Amino acid sequence: MITIASAMQQEEIKNLLESYDGGDFTYTFKEKKGIKLAFDVTGDKEEAAKKAKELIKAQPWGGVLFFQAVAV
């Protein structure tokens, strides 16, 4: 599991990760606790967290977004 902590753009993050189709990981939204979004992932958790960070930063709104992606 990984968590993404962000006060903003939560729906966009959830939609982005759940629709990711890169073949190396799948992200399934599990729950929201405060500003943290939890996702079940397939594959290596550390690599999935890095990929999630890359995907978010690649978005037009992601470059200025303050967030944290960590493997749990």
Instruction: Give the count of domains, the chain.
Output: 1
pLDDT at res. 24: 85
The DSSP annotation for 7-56 comes to SS-HHHHHHHHHT---SS--EEEEEEETTEEEEEESS-HHHHHHHHHHHH
> Which residues, in sequence order, are CB contacts of 23 under 8 Å at separation 6+?
none
- Which domain covers residue 16, as residue numbers? 2-71
Q: Which two tokens stand for residue 37?
A: 């979004």
pLDDT at residue 69 greater than cutoff 90: yes
Residue 40 maps to which CATH number? Answer: 3.30.70
What are 35-47's pLDDT values in tens digits? 999 999 999 999 9
